[in-house]
Structure 1
Amino acid sequence: MTTTRFTTTLAAATLLAGAAFADGHANPQVGGADMLAELNIVENAMNSPIHTTLVAAVSAAGLVETLSGEGPFTVFAPTDEAFAALPDGTVDTLLMEENLDQLTTILTCHVVGAEAFSDAIGGMIADDGGAHPVETLGGCTLTAEMDGEMITLTDEQGRVATVTVADVDQSNGVIHVIDAVLLPAM
């Protein structure tokens, strides 16, 4: 599937899903913190007590301005526990100056250049027979699938992340909290 088809399909699906979301859903809390729809992705991530590693990584990679921008973006946001599950020393190594390009690639493999609420993602999964390719701004292709009522994302290495908190509306997109760090193919 090309990025254009994904973005076009996503845009049409999210117009309907976004309107339905705005009409009847409150924004979920993340880590016990209120997530405010009038704040952008970076502002809300900074308020989340379970995304301190992600915020530090975004800052180190120089992505704060980008993810604070107009968007729209969909961010699959790994928790601190997800980063802690990586092999010992991985995060510290990625935060080193000489590894910032690799860190940027990993982080942007969690970002889609369109807004996609869970209803739209679920619809695309169903339309594609149970597995939908999701092209990211980092050049990775994730595979979105359903596991019961939960959305899962499989990266190019076969690692699976589950969306644990969906549809956190932002002024410039949406965040879906995930329980694993997604990695590009090596």
Structure 2
Amino acid sequence: MSERFQMTRQIKQLIVITIVSGMAIAGANCGDSNDSKVGQGISAVADDKSQQDVLKIAIGSKDHTTLVAAVQAAGLVDSLANQGPFTVFAPTNDAFAKLPAGTVDDLLKASQKEALKNILEYHVVVGNLTESLLRSEYTGKGDELGMANGGNTKITEKNGKLMINGATIIASIPATNGIIHVVDTVLLPKSE
């Protein structure tokens, strides 16, 4: 039973990561009005019914190439066969660029695979949490949102925008296996 639980958790985590990357790509294409380039790309992907799979959405986004590379380096690509549902908070390339110099390169090294998986899984929730559900169930109530890596996050609202641990949700894209919330900052789990 322990092996089965661990395998099931790993499969869920892989799927979540894959979904995150797909959602991130989709989100990058559907950005808010302040970033028309990102907004146009996401809209086009979201409108194409054949591109509703999370992974296809991510791979098709010019704004999520770093996320896709991270998912590949973590070995999480094959997990997309899972039906979910998953909620993925997908950081854009610009979000990864905000990290200290060398951080992404270090995380993409084979020796950092587990650390990278932990970070990617911190961007995924099992379930389909729409913006309205996040607003009604998590904003201002002090409830924490449990992530796939076992960590917790806080959902807040500022000036009408939803935020997760201070990262702004700039777009939300429904996918066939969940939803992608594009975020402007990489979420980093707290060290224990």
State TM-score, norm by structure 2.
Answer: 0.74
State the 1:65 CA deviation. 2.1
Q: In the alignment, does 2:84 pair up with 1:79?
A: no
- Partner AA of 2:102 in structure 1: G
Q: Find the residue that maps to 2:174 and give its secondary structure.
A: strand
Hey, which bits of structure 1, 4+ residues long, moved more than 6 A? none
Q: Is the 8 A contact 1:130 1:145 kept in 2?
A: no
Partner of 1:163: 169
| 2:183 aligned partner | 178
Which residue number in structure 2 is paired with residue 5 of structure 1?
none
Helix, strand or coil for the counterpart of 1:163?
Answer: strand
* Offset, 1:35: 2.6
**TM-score (norm. length: structure 1):** 0.76
Mapping of 1:121-136 within 5 angstroms?
A: 121-126=134-139, 129-136=140-147
Give runs of aligned pairs for residues 91-170 of structure 1, distance below 5 A: 91-126=104-139, 129-154=140-165, 160-166=166-172, 168-170=173-175
Q: CA deviation at 1:132?
A: 3.1
1:40: Cα distance to partner?
1.4
Aligned to 2:149, the other structure's residue is in SS state coil
Give the superposition deviation at 1:42. Answer: 1.1
8 A contact 1:133–1:141 mirrored in 2: yes
What secondary structure is seen at the aligned counterpart in 2 of 1:151?
A: strand
Distance 2:179 2:81 in 1: 12
Partner deviation per Cα, 1:137-178 (whole Å, 9 max, x = no partner): 011101001112111111xxxxx2010112x01010000000
Q: Which runs of 5+ in 2 are unaligned?
A: 1-26, 31-37
CA 1:111–1:67: 2 relative to 1, 3 Å: farther
Q: Would the alpha carbon gap of residues 170 and 103 (structure 1) be closer, same or farther in structure 2, given more than 3 Å must change?
A: same
Identity, % of aligned pairs? Answer: 37
Question: What CA RMSD, in Å, does the superposition of the two structures yield over aligned residues?
Answer: 1.8
What SS does the aligned partner of 1:35 have?
helix
Measure, in 1, the Cα distance between the counterparts of 2:132 and 2:113.
34
> 1: CA distance between counterparts of 2:78 and 2:161?
31
